[in-house]
Amino acid sequence: MATANHNLSNYDKRTIPNAKDFRFGIVVSEWNETITKGLSKGAYDALIDCGALPENIIEWDVPGSFELIYGSKKMLEQKVDAVIAIGCVIQGETKHFDFVCEGVTHGIKELNLSSDTPVIFCLLTDNTMQQSIDRSGGKHGNKGTEAAIAAIKMADLRRKA
């Protein structure tokens, strides 16, 4: 979703299922921790705001964004209704950015294809630190909030389907 002139934190609670009966896993990369902790806070706060119980939210840290795949895979074993994978990769001078972004994208996609539990992709892939700040609680709101709303909706879909 494009973020230009859009606040990621805006949602209408009337259109979102109540999350009180769902369990959520949040897997957070420690790399670019200032950004990922902001995203995690946005996700947690939105889950709570939509009715999730604190005891039904499990949060684990992993060293980097590439490790989100394994962390999310293990989180699926915790009998959660949805997993939110949170990371931040900022463009540098090497191709490492491309490899990590592509690997995480494909890894999360594979988890969604191989599991009955949705894994929500909350990986910022920005060109600058300022862009990441703007999307993790700055002028564009918080992508973590958006990921939490997606997790609630997907958990509800999973239960209904």
- Tell me which residues are annotated as active site: 96
H or E stretch at 43:
helix 33-49
Backbone angles phi, psi at 56, to 5 degrees: -100, 15
Task: Classify residue 113 as exposed, middle or buried by CB count within 10 Å of its CB (0-12, 13-18, 19+).
Answer: exposed
H or E stretch at 62:
strand 57-62
CA 20: distance to chain centroid?
Answer: 19
Which residues on neighbouring strands pair with residue 83, listed in sequence order?
A: 25, 119
Backbone angles phi, psi at 129, to 5 degrees: -60, -40
